[in-house]
Amino acid sequence: MPTELNISTKHCLVEQEGNVLIVTLNRPEAKNAFSSEMLLGMYKAWRLVDEDDNLYCAIITAKGDTFSAGMDLKVGPDGDQATAEEFMTIMATVPNVHWQALLRENRPCKPIILAVEGYALAGGTEILQGTDIRVAAEDAIFGVTEVARGLYPMSGSTIRLRKQIPYCIAAEILLTGDRVSAQQALEFGLINRVVPKGETLNEAKKFAAKICANGPLAVKAVVRSLREHTEHLSEDEAMQKSDELAGPVFASKDAKEGMRAFKEKRPAVFKGE
């Protein structure tokens, strides 16, 4: 069973289950629109998964029938004043804390798995683009809808979406504000799996289990390469930097254990060393 951590907030439940951190948006009465309490919990969760060697990956999901409707500029009456003040205090020293929370900047160097039920609109689809493996329910609906409100998608969709799916499809989504079904998102390559309603978290946990069975040093190095070796580098430069990440992995005890386990025809026991 998952154990709730003390970094949870009223609008963001943070739990640990084995080597997996589970982050649950918990404001269903407001369609899980982002609040300072939610952003604070997310920010702390991503920093924890990045820093804790016992955490191998993370899952982000949500309670209710909407994953997230994006940013909420209203100040609700149910907000926790102390949490809001803590968020503003952190923002004074970490100005991009909200972008870190939404996975636009300083993403953890460990895999993040997304589990979406229902609507993921505006910021809900923007945060998707900061994750690595994505599971959606059959009834999931995506969309970067900012232009329909006369707004601009500030969480990075104009940059990331065109790299993750064909350019013309990204342009259509961004310029029309149209909604995208789970099946369309699968066909575009925006998500990995479509599963029955109510099964996304279970499917995400299956991915997490596979990741956790692998060498954690190797997984972290692969994620770093995916994050850092982007298109602005030439192929030769990217290959050189990739080799720099590979060296310590091959020299690790885990690598020796992996090869020994293969030879002995048994599951490897990795220790992150």
Catalytic residues, by residue number, are 126, 146
Q: Which token pair is 43?
A: 């920010």
No. of helices (H) and no. of strands (E), the chain: 11, 11
- 66 vs 157: CA distance, rounded Å: 20
Helix, strand, coil fractions of the chain, as percent rounded to 5: 45, 20, 35
Q: Which token pair is 28?
A: 């269903």
Question: How many Cβ atoms from other residues are within 10 Å of residue 210's Cβ?
Answer: 11
Q: 72 near 34, Cβ under 8 Å?
A: yes
Closest CA to 117 of 178, 54, 61: 61
Question: How many Cβ atoms from other residues are within 10 Å of residue 258's Cβ?
Answer: 18
Q: Which token pair is 12?
A: 């963001």
Beta bridge partners of 120: 68, 142
